[in-house]
Structure 1
Amino acid sequence: MDKFQLHKKFFCWLKDRGQKISEQDTKIWRLLLLFMALSNIGIVIVITMANPTGIGFIVDFVFYLLLVSIAFIITTLLIAFIFSLLYVPLPRLFVGSVIFTWSLVYYILSVGNLGTLFSVIIATSFIFLTMIIGAIIIILFNTQLSLKIKILTILLPMVILYLTYQSPYMQKSEIPAFSEVYPKPAVTPILEESPAKKGNFTVIYFTYGSGKDRHRREYGQKVDLVSKTVDASEYIDKWPRSREIFWGFNEKELPLNGRVWFPNGEGPFPIVLITHGNHKMEDFSDAGYAYLGELLASRGFITISLDQNFLNYSNWSGIPKKDMELRAWIILHHLLQIDEFSQTPGTPFYQKVDFERVALIGHSRGGLASTMAVDYSKWFDHDTSIEGVDKFKIQSVVALAPTDKAVDKKLPYLWETNYLVIHGAQDADVNSFRGERQYGRTRFRNGSKKFKAALYLAEANHSYFNTDWGKRDISIPGGFFLNHRDTMDSKDQREITKIYISAFLETTLLNSSRYEKLFYNYQYGLNWLPETLYFNRYENGMFQPINKFYTNRDKRVFDKDIRANAQGFSIWDIETAKDRRGNSKGKAGLVLQWDKEGSYAISISQKYISSLKNEPDSFILSIANMARDLDENLESRPKVEVEFRNKSGDSVQLPLDEYMPLPARIKVQYTKIPWFDKIMKKGKYEEDEEPVFHMYEIKLNKIKSLNDNITYQNISEIILHFTNGPGKVMIDDVGYISY
């Protein structure tokens, strides 16, 4: 047989195998193939939601549907042909469709960094679910099957779904509200109206921007006030062509766009700038803080939400390498632009802005950017484009679920700047309380009335701080798997945000004291605050610590001849405070662990008493419940009593339960199915609990009312008595404070 005949025979064989690729695909397999093909429409919807081009959903959907359809047909036929060549006795077209669909689902999940094992499980489950749904429909439409079989076919999955829904894993976690934990508040709530109530100013809304925006008319043709652009080429090495096509500009002409809510009045008014975080670039973020802008402007604050969407991540063009520096840099340029407006007759800002009273609010990466903007010299010391920013007096910073990391190996510190951080335990994006690190890096001069406060909410998430971010803390497809049952209502989360931010800015920018107590103890706000579990800390420049805990110091000896001793503890040590993922919070604390009971005694020296600059109002300490280190299922609620003794032997012993019991353990289930927490996002959600500090305050006049022989001048010993073991806690912020 010559070569030509061999080739001819080979091609005839190929043709024959090609004609027989579907020989194993009987009617039922072809019907299941149809359902597998239809399931790809659902996948296309997910792809469209996860990868917007900015053109529009329908156009994106048609584009992706065309691509996936072509790939589905080619891949299915190719796999079936290969199986035919190998004489594989399987329904080849159906198997080809399964392989394509499984691979596509796996790819989408793995690109979303959801983890290899998780992606395999979900992709496999998707295939089986599609086959089951297809089989049910085939059975229901089969005229040869009895009605009994069809009814059973419907009832069986319904029963399975019902039992799944009723399982403990699908129920809302039992997180106690403060009304359950503290049925009788230890303080009298503030009687003033809620700081979240609209104020007396009518609000004027307008925008400023480049006037050339391609996607938002309010920054384009309909802009009210034209602003300049800024050259960021010093900080951007690469601005992809796809990003330039989308926005219509490159790194040399970044716009200064802002949404302004302006109080209609004489002024000058304090000014507040709000900076959003990282989100899909094509899904704009800056309009999502209108609820804050409208409230704050009505209460006398010029409020501006800054547009930094062009610095956000896109699946098409990535994210600028130095996006954190750029976010802070843009904030500073907005201040310079507003200053220019305020000196220009005819603009709404003309002579209406009080730059002695500036506040920054930042969400997520915007929270870190805001603190960087205050400590700007670390990153922009030689940048002549921001000359003059030192005249703006940034008095206060608010961080909503902020990230916190070293940028160019440097961290921002706040000095003599009021700081408020709010974070939620249900945050699936920034799922550690990173704002506590910045809380520790916020310092004041002795005697200053500036303060810092931290608020941790048991049921708050990441996205609800922005009305446009929806309920998913992470991008699609990962967002579909998050547990939303344990998340508080979005309106409640924003109500808490409005209450705290409004009260904070009124206290720090308007020098009003009517809401200041809210930051000492959230129970002062019980007349307004929604039900959830709150943790709060507070410190001002008049805090005078008794113990400062350092891991490299003696646990028995402290500054100013303070001494400490402990009895009954299996662990008594000074350790680094760590977050949910085992990372340092930048602070150390005293760790005490006991089985039944223990006592920790602090001997107060005369040297310490003589060093007090102000007469203290209260004794405070912060405690974090670390029962997670003892037993996974132990519901440890230790009891603590604080005893004050003087040199004459007089004593007063007060249970902290009278003020506030130690907080319950807050265990978070991030995903819809508990064991997904272990495998999704490469273990990011593996730890379900993070010990968080909560401040306790005992007023010294309370002690004196029980025994007038005891005053702060003659207290010689403070003893912490721990019972109701086993228990484990970390303690910090032990000292006296004045207000």
Structure 2
Amino acid sequence: MKRQRSRHSDRFWPIGSLTVGLTVMLLSAINVALMDTGLGNVTEFFLGLGLGLVAVITGAIVVALALKLTHSIPFAALSVGGGSIFALWYLNKNSPARIARTLLDDPQWQLDLSRDALSFGSLTGLVLTLGLLAGIVFLVWKKHLTLLRAAHRGLLVLLTVSLITVSAGTLWSLMSDGHNPYPDDGAFPELLTIADDPGNAGNPAAPGLYTVKTLTYGAGNNLRRPEFGSNRDIDSRTVDARKLLPQWVSLKKRMRESYWGFGLEEAPLNGRVWMPEGAGPFPLVLIVHGNHGMEDYSDDGYAYLGELLANRGFITVSVDQNYINGSWSGDFQGKEMAARGWLLLEHLAQWRDWNQTPGHPLGDKIDMNRLALIGHSRGGEAVSIAHSFNRLSHFPDDATVAFDYGFNIRALVAIAQVDQRYHRRVKLQDVDFFTIHGSYDSDEPAYHGLRQMNRISLSTADYHFKAGVYVHGANHGQFNSGWGRYDYSPPGAWSLNTAPIIPGEDQRKAAKIYISAFLEASLHGDGRFLSYLKDPRSLSPWLPRQSYVHQFMDSSFAPIADFEEDIDTATGSADGARISVKDLALWREEALQHRDKRLQGSNAVVLGWETPGASYLISNIDTGLITTERSLVFAVSGSLEKSAGAPSDSENAETDDSAAPTVPDFSVSLIGKNAQEATVLVSDFAQLIPPVRVQYLKNARRNKAQYHALWEPVLQYVEIPFAAFTSVNPSLSLEDVRSLRLDFDQSAAGVLILDNIGSARRL
């Protein structure tokens, strides 16, 4: 017998299902409008509307065929409503950008431009609620709701209130900044007095002595960037980059060349310049952006660095590589990394030619023996690639391309760098290196600058150093003034927990302080600034109030125990050095990992104790390593392991979320002949910074599923002059010292990670 339907349902279901379908179409339209195709937001909106309509109709047909025998809900309403949910699922799994690329016959399917950070369940609840509300509003408006039975009416109201509550929570979550679940993590560095500060070089971010002149250079025709085209100040040249990026084909080639007005056979060398006025010659610093939507130009986002560095005597260039960035028509998936590095070398070649051209406005302005490269994100990886290519005779991926560069690139700076896009792991030697990374970098949540730092070897032929800083609360994008607080594109951006992120001005202020100090030490040769890279307390008068974890090593470092030599926990790295322990509940050597499970490129020792009095002894140390001209140095971090005896790896361990992490203080003793020894507390020479926990997404459960660990080991540099031990015990002769002991006597229990125990020259 045919099932009867009431007049109320005949009106309710069509209105509700129509609202669901229109909502999905609207979501699709908004998504496409955010793609920045260059066609304009209005055109993009209607394209997205059409794509959503096609998806809803397709879903309706699929659902209609599957549920043909279902009669409890009107057939048309069930088909459209179910089809809309199917369309929502499909559009969530396959972004409109990906669908558009496929429809336009791109032979390569690419990954989504933004991560699917929004829950399909949340979106479904929101869409269904809107449909249900539309149906109820229609019934109330037509005065049909009162005709329902009381039980049915109550059930409908209960369901509606429940869905409204869930949807309101979803909307509130999407619109809110989130919250800081770990407000007590991190510590601002204590102030060192000027007397304690061995550098005393002043604020590295303070203005210098030079007046700054700005200009741009470029080549060829540029449909989008007049500053590099018709309005440029200086003509550069074009280069043929086709063999460096053979993936510039098909849709990506057609769309990009239509957008920009040029192809890779005539890739322009474009740059914006901040130049100190004066005779020179000046050091030259190139800055290159990373991967960002190519239509949202990135090169002007480093003006804050360009102005400061030029003011302090560095010619600074922000290089334009926007035309090889990602767009709605596709991302090169890291295949463009070689081109990013190579283009930097071509810019240096152009500057060398200008410098050697008599009468040129830039002639004799550059000191070609003092060159630095700065890169952000993929640009951070590109600067290391450029340094590697600089010493090669041929392109390693296509040896038919000859290289002939040989520049004296003295310094590299990696800002929130990636270390996974180029398929070759670049190893470097004898170059000054600095990396800066934020704990709230949700785009590159692992501190990958450490990986590159650990692949740089420093010989004793000339003095070089490598350093880094981990800034709590900094994100990926705010190192560029135009990228902002959201490290994803919408709609994924709406799920990010941005409340703990520091203000953009503070983040860029920290970058200015550290990068300026690094370049002053490297290119200007002012050793006073090196102390600023070792201990954040020396910078505390000027730094924003956040936690800063420093890393440092220079070419004078001689290892006593760096845990790289073998798998024997009883041997040190120095010849003949032996290791023994007392009362440790935990003792293992392991390869340090990032939160993404990639290796940091360094081994360390993990030590844990459950009673005071435990110790770690290194004996048979070469006496030549311990002199008054040198210091004891090591890297240390606390650990979030639940207990000292836990068998889990340090990077995977968790702890009680309610308790802020700590780093246990401990003592260091030097032991000489006749039982003479001297002991100092580590906390007298360094402010030990606890590990910091982060939650990138507003939803903690989804954050754990996507990012796994709440923290990753980031070890802190500590330096204790050997002369400090003789101050404690003048009877101790450093020439007689053969043993070094770490005493864990300041806390009842704890876990520490230690690495790179050694000796280094005092500066």
Query: If the TM-score is normalised by the length of the shorter chain, which range does it land in?
Result: 0.7 to 0.9
Whether 2:412 is the aligned partner of 1:403: answer no
Question: For the structure 1 residues 21 and 157, does the alpha-carbon distance in structure 2 shift closer, same or farther, using more than 3 Å as the test?
Answer: closer
**Whole-Å Cα distance in 2 between the matches of residues 169 and 344 of structure 1?**
54
Q: Which residue of 1 aligns with 2:282?
A: 269
Q: Which residue of 1 aligns with 2:719?
A: 697
Partner AA of 1:54 in structure 2: G
Q: Which residue of 1 aligns with 2:239?
A: 230
**Whole-Å Cα distance in 2 between the matches of residues 76 and 715 of structure 1?**
78
**CA deviation after TM superposition for structure 1 residue 364, in Å:** 1.1
Partner SS state of residue 81, structure 2: helix
Partner SS state of residue 561, structure 1: coil
**CA deviation after TM superposition for structure 1 residue 373, in Å:** 0.9
Q: Which residue of 1 aligns with 2:103?
A: none
**CA deviation after TM superposition for structure 1 residue 334, in Å:** 0.8
1:63 to 31, 47, 61: 47
1:215 to 224, 227, 230: 224
The alignment-based identity, stated in percent, is 30
Q: Which residue of 1 aligns with 2:121?
A: 121
Q: Structure 1 stretch 359-368 or stretch 594-603: which is displaced more? A: 594-603
Q: Which residue of 2 aligns with 1:374?
A: 387
Q: Which residue of 2 aligns with 1:248?
A: 261
Partner AA of 1:431 in structure 2: P
**Whole-Å Cα distance in 2 between the matches of residues 655 and 490 of structure 1?**
37
TM-score norm. by structure 2 comes to 0.84
**Whole-Å Cα distance in 1 between the matches of residues 468 and 587 of structure 2?**
27
Q: Which residue of 1 aligns with 2:755?
A: 732
Q: Structure 1 stretch 327-336 or stretch 341-350: which is displaced more? A: 341-350
Q: Which residue of 2 aligns with 1:720?
A: 742
Given that residues 21 and 93 in structure 1 are in contact (C-alpha distance below 8 angstroms), is that contact kept between their aligned partners in structure 2? no
**Whole-Å Cα distance in 2 between the matches of residues 186 and 132 of structure 1?**
68
Q: Which residue of 2 aligns with 1:13?
A: none
**CA deviation after TM superposition for structure 1 residue 57, in Å:** 2.4
Given that residues 194 and 200 in structure 2 are in contact (C-alpha distance below 8 angstroms), is that contact kept between their aligned partners in structure 1? no
Partner AA of 1:171 in structure 2: H
**Whole-Å Cα distance in 2 between the matches of residues 246 and 188 of structure 1?**
57
Q: Structure 1 stretch 436-445 or stretch 241-250: which is displaced more? A: 241-250
**CA deviation after TM superposition for structure 1 residue 56, in Å:** 2.5
Partner SS state of residue 514, structure 1: helix
Given that residues 14 and 77 in structure 2 are in contact (C-alpha distance below 8 angstroms), is that contact kept between their aligned partners in structure 1? yes
- What are the Cα deviations for residues 330-386 of structure 1, in whole angstroms up to 9, with x where unaligned? 111111111122233454322111111000001111111101111114662686876
**Whole-Å Cα distance in 2 between the matches of residues 460 and 169 of structure 1?**
15
- RMSD (Å) for aligned C-alpha atoms: 3.7
**Whole-Å Cα distance in 2 between the matches of residues 352 and 86 of structure 1?**
82
Q: Structure 1 stretch 45-54 or stretch 577-586: which is displaced more? A: 45-54
Question: For the structure 1 residues 258 and 386, does the alpha-carbon distance in structure 2 shift closer, same or farther, using more than 3 Å as the test?
Answer: farther
**CA deviation after TM superposition for structure 1 residue 98, in Å:** 3.3
Q: How does 1:379-528 map to 2 (within 5 A)?
A: 380=395, 387-390=403-406, 392-405=407-420, 407-408=422-423, 410-446=424-460, 448-528=462-542
**Whole-Å Cα distance in 2 between the matches of residues 721 and 466 of structure 1?**
44
**CA deviation after TM superposition for structure 1 residue 91, in Å:** 3.9
Partner AA of 1:403 in structure 2: V
Q: Which residue of 2 aligns with 1:315?
A: 328
Q: Which residue of 2 aligns with 1:292?
A: 305
Whether 2:32 is the aligned partner of 1:48: answer yes
Q: How does 1:300-699 map to 2 (within 5 A)?
A: 300-319=313-332, 322-345=335-358, 347-376=360-389, 377=391, 380=395, 387-390=403-406, 392-405=407-420, 407-408=422-423, 410-446=424-460, 448-550=462-564, 552-558=566-572, 559-597=574-612, 598-605=614-621, 608-610=622-624, 616-628=629-641, 629=650, 631-633=654-656, 635=660, 637=662, 638-660=664-686, 662-679=688-705, 683=706, 685-699=707-721
- What are the Cα deviations for residues 595-624 of structure 1, in whole angstroms up to 9, with x where unaligned? 22421011143xx22367x85332111112
**CA deviation after TM superposition for structure 1 residue 573, in Å:** 2.4
**CA deviation after TM superposition for structure 1 residue 736, in Å:** 1.6
**CA deviation after TM superposition for structure 1 residue 674, in Å:** 0.3
Given that residues 437 and 586 in structure 1 are in contact (C-alpha distance below 8 angstroms), is that contact kept between their aligned partners in structure 2? yes
**Whole-Å Cα distance in 1 between the matches of residues 292 and 28 of structure 2?**
21
Question: For the structure 1 residues 711 and 424, does the alpha-carbon distance in structure 2 shift closer, same or farther, using more than 3 Å as the test?
Answer: farther
Question: For the structure 1 residues 720 and 247, does the alpha-carbon distance in structure 2 shift closer, same or farther, using more than 3 Å as the test?
Answer: same
- What are the Cα deviations for residues 604-647 of structure 1, in whole angstroms up to 9, with x where unaligned? 43xx22367x8533211111223244552165532321122221
**Whole-Å Cα distance in 2 between the matches of residues 156 and 60 of structure 1?**
31
**CA deviation after TM superposition for structure 1 residue 533, in Å:** 1.1
**CA deviation after TM superposition for structure 1 residue 197, in Å:** 2.3
Partner SS state of residue 12, structure 2: helix
Whether 2:121 is the aligned partner of 1:106: answer no
**Whole-Å Cα distance in 2 between the matches of residues 311 and 383 of structure 1?**
22
**Whole-Å Cα distance in 1 between the matches of residues 343 and 411 of structure 2?**
18
- What are the Cα deviations for residues 71-126 of structure 1, in whole angstroms up to 9, with x where unaligned? 54x44764686589545331444434433443343334323668999754344333
Given that residues 636 and 725 in structure 1 are in contact (C-alpha distance below 8 angstroms), is that contact kept between their aligned partners in structure 2? no
Q: Structure 1 stretch 705-714 or stretch 560-569: which is displaced more? A: 705-714
Partner SS state of residue 585, structure 2: strand
Given that residues 295 and 327 in structure 2 are in contact (C-alpha distance below 8 angstroms), is that contact kept between their aligned partners in structure 1? yes
Partner SS state of residue 515, structure 1: helix
**Whole-Å Cα distance in 2 between the matches of residues 546 and 423 of structure 1?**
28
Given that residues 13 and 77 in structure 2 are in contact (C-alpha distance below 8 angstroms), is that contact kept between their aligned partners in structure 1? yes
Given that residues 460 and 488 in structure 1 are in contact (C-alpha distance below 8 angstroms), is that contact kept between their aligned partners in structure 2? yes
Q: Structure 1 stretch 305-314 or stretch 323-332: which is displaced more? A: 305-314
**CA deviation after TM superposition for structure 1 residue 300, in Å:** 1.1
Instruction: Give 5+ residue unaligned stretches, structure 1.
Output: 1-19
2:12 to 23, 28, 33: 28
**Whole-Å Cα distance in 2 between the matches of residues 555 and 155 of structure 1?**
59
Given that residues 274 and 306 in structure 1 are in contact (C-alpha distance below 8 angstroms), is that contact kept between their aligned partners in structure 2? yes
Instruction: Give 5+ residue unaligned stretches, structure 2.
Output: 96-111, 147-156, 642-649
**Whole-Å Cα distance in 2 between the matches of residues 116 and 170 of structure 1?**
18
- What are the Cα deviations for residues 397-445 of structure 1, in whole angstroms up to 9, with x where unaligned? 000111113844x322222210001111111111111111111112222
**CA deviation after TM superposition for structure 1 residue 192, in Å:** 4.7
**Whole-Å Cα distance in 2 between the matches of residues 651 and 244 of structure 1?**
72
**Whole-Å Cα distance in 2 between the matches of residues 271 and 307 of structure 1?**
16
- What are the Cα deviations for residues 125-155 of structure 1, in whole angstroms up to 9, with x where unaligned? 3334534665786699788999xx99x9799
**Whole-Å Cα distance in 1 between the matches of residues 473 and 457 of structure 2?**
29
Partner SS state of residue 527, structure 2: coil
**Whole-Å Cα distance in 2 between the matches of residues 143 and 88 of structure 1?**
25
**Whole-Å Cα distance in 1 between the matches of residues 241 and 681 of structure 2?**
58
Question: For the structure 1 residues 254 and 137, does the alpha-carbon distance in structure 2 shift closer, same or farther, using more than 3 Å as the test?
Answer: farther
Partner SS state of residue 596, structure 1: coil
Given that residues 446 and 541 in structure 1 are in contact (C-alpha distance below 8 angstroms), is that contact kept between their aligned partners in structure 2? yes
1:174 to 158, 175, 182: 182
**Whole-Å Cα distance in 1 between the matches of residues 235 and 170 of structure 2?**
58
Partner SS state of residue 278, structure 1: coil
Partner SS state of residue 704, structure 2: helix
**CA deviation after TM superposition for structure 1 residue 259, in Å:** 1.3
Question: For the structure 1 residues 710 and 55, does the alpha-carbon distance in structure 2 shift closer, same or farther, using more than 3 Å as the test?
Answer: farther
Q: Structure 1 stretch 317-326 or stretch 263-272: which is displaced more? A: 317-326
- What are the Cα deviations for residues 299-347 of structure 1, in whole angstroms up to 9, with x where unaligned? 1111111111222223314317731111111111111111122233454
Partner AA of 1:98 in structure 2: G
Given that residues 256 and 307 in structure 1 are in contact (C-alpha distance below 8 angstroms), is that contact kept between their aligned partners in structure 2? yes
**Whole-Å Cα distance in 1 between the matches of residues 188 and 388 of structure 2?**
42
Partner AA of 2:37 in structure 1: T
Whether 2:215 is the aligned partner of 1:206: answer yes
Q: Which residue of 2 aligns with 1:9?
A: none
The count of residues paired between Structure 1 and Structure 2 equals: 707
Partner AA of 1:103 in structure 2: F
**Whole-Å Cα distance in 1 between the matches of residues 418 and 384 of structure 2?**
11
Partner SS state of residue 68, structure 1: helix
Question: For the structure 1 residues 446 and 406, does the alpha-carbon distance in structure 2 shift closer, same or farther, using more than 3 Å as the test?
Answer: farther
**Whole-Å Cα distance in 2 between the matches of residues 538 and 140 of structure 1?**
70
Partner SS state of residue 627, structure 1: coil
Partner SS state of residue 82, structure 2: helix
TM-score norm. by structure 1 comes to 0.86
